[in-house]
Chains A and B, each alone.
Chain A
Amino acid sequence: MTRFSQPSRGSRGAVAEGRLVVLPGGGHRDDPVARSQIAVGLLLAAMTMVFAALVSAYLVRMDLSDWRAAPLPPVLWVNTALLVAASAALEAALRPARAGDTRRLSTLLWVAGLATAAFIVGQLAAWFQMRAMGYGVAATPGASFFYLLTLVHGVHVLGGLVPWVRLLARLRSGREPEEPGGRARARDRDGDDGPAGVVPALRLCAVYWHFLLGVWIVLYLLMLLT
C-alpha cells in the first residue's frame, strides 16, 4: 500500500481501503466576460505587432539617404480631436450603462459612433488634401508612409464599428445575445453562465477605441516630428 502514498503527478489523492481515490481539483469555470477580455487582449497584442512592424519599418526607411518627409494636411488635427471625442464618449457611456440610464447611454454611443465615422471621412479628406498638395502615394517615402499608416489604422477603426453596431442592436432589442449558434454549451456548466450585460462589452469597446487612439497619437507624432 505504501506505494500509493504519493498519488500520481498532477493529482490530489488520498488512499482509502485498497483503492486510490483521487479528488478532482482546479480547472476553470467558463466565464463569458473573462473569455471576451482574453480575446480582445490577444487581438490588441496582434495589432500591437502590426503597428510595431510599421513603426520600425518607418524608422529604418527614415534613415536611408533619399528620405524626404511630406507635409501633413492640417485636417489631421481635427481628425485627432474627433477620435479623442469618440474615445471619451465611450468612456463616459460606462457610467449611465452601470446606472441603467439607457437614454443617456445610447446618446453617448451615437456620439462615439458618429465621431468615429467623421474621423474616417476626415482621414479620406486628408488623402485628397495630400494629393491636392502634389503628394501622391509614390511622391516621397514620407508620403508613402502617410498613406500606408492611415490606411492600416483606418481599417482597424472601421473594424471597431462592428462591435459598436452589435452593442446598439443589443441595446435596442434589450436582450442578451444568444450563445453562438444557439448551442447549449455554457448553460450546461453548473447551470451558471452569468449574464453578460452591456457593461462588459461596452468596456471592451472603449478599450479598443483607447488603444486605436493611442496608436494614432503615436503614428501622428512620428510623422509630425520626423
Chain B
Amino acid sequence: MATPAAAAHAAHEHHEPQSFWRKYVFSLDHKVIGIQYTVTALAVGAIGLVLSWLMRLQLGFPGAVGAVNPTNYYQFMTYHGLIMVVYLQTAILLGGFGNYLIPLMIGARDMAYPTLNMLSYWTYLLSVILLLAGYFVPGGPSGGSWVLYPPQSITAGTPGSGLGITLLLASIAVFVVSATMGGLNYITTVLQMRTRGMTLMRMPLTVWGVFISAVVALLSFPPLFVAGVMLLFDHLLGTSFFIPTVNVLGTVLPHEGGSPLLFQHLFWFFGHPEVYVVILPAMGIISDVMATHARKPIFGYKAMIVSMAAIGVISFIVWAHHMFASGMNPFFGYIFAATTLVVAIPSAMKTYNWLLTLWKGSIRFTTPMLFTIGFVSTFVIGGLTGLFLGNVAVDLPLHDTYFVVGHFHLVMGVSAILAMFAGIYHWFPKVTGRMMNETLGKIHFFVTFLGAYLVFFPMFLMGFQGIPRRYFSFDLVAFAPSGLDAVNAMVTVAALAVGAAQLVFVANIVWSAVRGREADANPWQANTLEWQTPQIRPGHGNWGPKLPEVYRWPYDYSVPGAARDFIPQNEPEVAVVSPAAGPEPEGAGR
C-alpha cells in the first residue's frame, strides 16, 4: 500500500493533525470518533453484561452469591437495562457504525461538522461517567428500574433515591444532547456530502438505516430530555409535576397532585421510538452484510427503504402499548393496539426480503454471515411474540411476567447485538487491516446464538405460567411451579456460557488486531465504497486527491455475464465474459 498511500498522504499533508492528542484523542476524524464510540460502548456494555450475570446467579442459584441482595439486585437491573439499550446499543449503532461508515459509504471525506462530531463523542463520554459515578456516591446508584417511573424512582425506600437518581437523570439529559449533536451530523452528512453519482437510491441500506434512525432519534429524544428535567425538578426542587400525594410509612411527602402517568407518556414517547432507533441501523447492517456474503442483490431494495421509513413513522404512534397495564380509556387501548400490530407489516416485508435474498444465493458461511442469519431468526421469534403483547387483552395477563422479558430481549436485545457483531466481524478488516479469526468467531457465534435461545425461550413459557418479572426471589411465590428452580438454573448456566463466549470475542479482537492475518483491500469482495479506498485503512480524508464517482447501486452481485461476481459502485465499465466462452450464468434468462 506504499505508493497510493504516499500520494494520498502528500495531498493532505498540510491538513493532517500531527500531534498524538489531536490525532487519536481529540480527533476530528470520523473514523477515530467512530472507534472511540465503539470502544467506549463495548466497555460499558461489558459492565452491563456482568450485571446480568449477577442477577442471573441470584435467580438460578438463590443465595449462592452472598453479595447480591434485593437492594443491589434492583440497582443491577436498572443499570443493566439502561446501559444495554442506551449507552451500548444506541451509542454503538449510531455513534460507532454511523460515524465510521457514513462518510466512507457515501464517498465523503468526513462528516459535515467534524467539531460537532467530536463534541458529540465527548458529551457521550461525560454521560457515561455521570452514569457510572452513581456507584461512587452515598446511597449508591438508582434502583428505580430503567423506565425510571415516579414516584418510586425518586422516593425514599428505592435504592439510590438521593444522589444516585440525580446523577442518572443528569446522565440521560447529557446523553440526549450528545445524540442530538450526532443526529444532526448524520442527517446533514447524508443529505449534503454524497459524492458524485451517489443518489439517495444508490445508498447502501446501512446508510439508510442510520439515516432514518437518526431522524427518529432527533424527534423522539427531546421528550425524554423534558421528562428527565421535570423529574429532576420534582426531585431537587420539590415540585409536583409527576408526584401525587404520597404517604411513606406514615410521613406525607410535600408533593401533591402530580401525575405519574404523565411521566409514562413522556417516557414512552421516547421509549418506543428508541427501540427502532436501535433496530433500524441493525437492519441496514444486516441487509448489507447479507447481500455481500450471499453474493446476491438485496431483494426488494426500495421495499427495504420504504419499510424502514414506515417503521420510523409508525414508531411515533404506538407508545401507549407499553402502558396498557397502567390503565387507560379502552378506546385508546384499541387505537394503540391497532397501530402496534401495523408495525408487523413493514417488519414482515423486511423479513421476507431477507429470506428471498438468501434464496438460491451462493452463501458464504463466514462469521459475519452466521450472525446475520442468526439475527433474522431472533428478530422473527422476538417480533412474533410482540404481536401477542400488542393485543390489550393478551398483554394484561402477560405484562408483568417473564414473557415480556423474553420478547424484548430477543427482538431488540439479542437481535441488535447480533447485528452489531455481524458488523464488527464484517468491517474489522477495514478498521484494522487484519482479518478476525474465523474459528474463534464461529465458536463465539454458536455459543451466543444457541445460548441466547436457551436463555430467553424458556422465559416465554415461564410467562405463560404467570411467573412475575422483576422479582428478586421466588421463595414466597406460592403459584410458582415446581420445575421453576431447575429452569432458572438452566437459564443461568446458559447465560454464563453466553457471557464466556463474549470473552472469546474480546480475545479474538485483541489477538486479531495485533496478530491477525493481513487483509486484502476488499476481503469480502464487496461493492460498497468503503472497500474501494486507496489505502486498506483509509487515511485522513479517506480518498486521496480525488473523490470516487459512483455509477451503480451497491448490490451488483452475480450480475449475469459479468466476469466477476461483484461490481463495485465506483466501477464505470464492466468486463463481460463473451457469450461463446463463458458459461451461461444461472438465472440469466429470467
Binding site for B on A (CB under 8 A): 1, 3-4, 7-11, 18-28, 30-31, 34-35, 38-39, 42-43, 45-47, 49-50, 53-54, 57, 60-61, 64-67, 137-138, 141, 144, 147-148, 152, 180-185, 188-189
Contact = CB atoms under 8 A, between A and B. Distances in A.
Nearest to A138: B238
Interface stretch (B180-188, B424-432, B439-447): B180-188
B61 interface: no
Nearest to B245: A66
Contact of B188 (A7, A18, A20, A38): A38
Given A3-B588, A138-B238, A144-B233, A24 B572 contact: yes
Contact of A42 (B183, B221, B258): B183
B475 interface: no
A42 B269 contact: no
A183 B110 contact: yes
A180 B15 CA distance: 11
B12 interface: yes
Interface residues of B, number: 82
A185 B109 contact: yes
Given A10-B552, A26-B197, A21 B573 contact: yes
Given A9-B553, A20-B576, A46 B180 contact: yes
Interface of B: 11-12, 14-15, 17, 28, 108-110, 112-115, 180, 183-184, 187-188, 191-199, 201-202, 218-223, 225-227, 229-230, 233, 237-241, 254, 256-259, 262, 265-266, 269, 297, 301, 540-541, 545-547, 549-553, 555-556, 559-562, 567, 572-576, 578-579, 588
A30 B193 contact: yes
Given A22-B551, A180-B28, A10 B199 contact: yes
20 contacts: A3-B560, A4-B576, A8-B559, A10-B199, A10-B301, A19-B576, A22-B573, A35-B188, A39-B112, A46-B180, A46-B183, A53-B266, A57-B241, A57-B266, A141-B241, A180-B114, A180-B115, A185-B109, A188-B546, A188-B547
Nearest to A55: B226
A8 B199 contact: no
A38 B91 CA distance: 23
B219 A45 contact: yes
Contacts of B12: 183-184
A43 B187 CA distance: 11
Contacts of B14: 184
B576 A18 contact: yes
A147 B574 CA distance: 66
A188 to B, nearest CB: 7
B197 A188 contact: no
Given A137-B238, A181-B115, 10 more contacts: A9-B297, A10-B553, A19-B576, A22-B574, A25-B197, A27-B198, A39-B112, A46-B183, A50-B223, A183-B28
Nearest to A25: B197
Contacts of A22: 551-552, 572-574
Nearest to B187: A42
B257 A11 contact: no
> Which 8 residue pairs spanning A and B have beta carbons closest together?
A66-B257, A10-B553, A26-B199, A49-B222, A144-B239, A24-B197, A138-B238, A53-B223
Contact of B241 (A1, A45, A47, A61): A61
Contact of B575 (A19, A148, A182, A184): A19
Nearest to A28: B194
Given A180-B113, A185-B110, A53 B15 contact: no
Contacts of A35: 112, 188, 192
Given A46-B180, A53-B222, A183-B15, A60 B199 contact: no
Contacts of A10: 199, 201-202, 301, 552-553
Nearest to A42: B184
Given A24-B551, A185-B109, A57 B573 contact: no
Nearest to B567: A8
Contacts of B266: 53, 57
Contacts of B238: 137-138
B187 to A, nearest CB: 6
A153 B297 CA distance: 49
Contact of A181 (B114, B198, B559): B114
A124 B282 CA distance: 46
Nearest to B196: A27
A53 B241 CA distance: 13
A142 B220 CA distance: 26
A28 to B, nearest CB: 5
A141 B269 CA distance: 23
Contact of B240 (A1, A4, A141, A152): A141
A138 B240 contact: yes
Given A42-B218, A53-B223, A183-B110, A148 B230 contact: yes
